[in-house]
């Protein structure tokens, strides 16, 4: 009796690890908004959830600075500078953030900004994983959804 199964090569541990990491990344980005930034804060890539949440296309965002997604005046304040300094130092930044959509509406996100480190533990880029918590904030604070307010009303 001969086997009709084709020959399959066993994956190396490195190939298995790479596939495992890819599977985890796909699972996370399937349900959450994700973006990648260079160390200057320029957007390199964003997944469909991110683009839908902010109302942009990748063609419009690619190469633009993260501050495009922030409320007016945010990029000029000390907290924003400290945010990027922390990321440049290799530290993660987690929290709730007010951001602005392509249409100018305000949204709230729960996000983690995570530096990707090289073999010498130096940041090479930043990834962001986020979820929309606008409606939760509305229920918690009992006021109209932030996306209905002008940026000046929630600044």
Residue 154's pLDDT is what? 44
Residue 28: CA count within 13 A, CB half-sphere? 15
Residue 145 forms part of a structural domain: yes
Q: Which domain holds residue 95?
A: 31-154
Rounded-to-integer distance, Cα 76 and Cα 136, Å: 28
- pLDDT value at position 3? 53
Provide the strand spans (E) within the chain: 33-37, 43-46, 93-100, 106-117, 123-132
Count up the domains in the chain and report the number: 1
Per-residue pLDDT of the chain (155 residues; tens, 9 = 90+): 555 556 566 767 766 778 888 888 788 878 999 999 999 999 999 999 999 999 999 999 999 999 999 999 999 999 999 999 999 999 999 999 999 999 999 999 999 999 999 999 999 999 999 999 998 876 666 555 544 444 444 44
CATH number at residue 130: 3.30.450.20
């Amino acid at each position: 009796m001969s086997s009709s199964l084709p020959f399959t090569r066993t994956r190396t541990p490195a190939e298995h690890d790479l596939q495992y990491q890819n599977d985890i990344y796909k699972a996370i980005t399937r349900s959450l908004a994700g973006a990648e930034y260079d160390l200057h804060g320029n957007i390199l890539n964003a997944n469909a959830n991110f683009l839908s949440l902010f109302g942009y296309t990748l063609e419009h965002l690619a190469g633009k600075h993260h501050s495009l997604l922030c409320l007016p005046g945010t990029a000029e304040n000390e907290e924003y500078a400290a945010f990027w300094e922390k990321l440049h130092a290799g530290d993660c930044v987690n929290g709730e953030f007010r951001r602005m959509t392509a249409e100018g509406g305000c949204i709230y996100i729960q996000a983690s900004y995570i530096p990707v480190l090289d073999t010498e533990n130096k940041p090479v880029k930043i990834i962001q994983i986020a979820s929309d918590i606008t409606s939760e904030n509305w229920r918690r604070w009992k006021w109209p959804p932030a996306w209905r307010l002008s940026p000046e009303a929630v600044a």
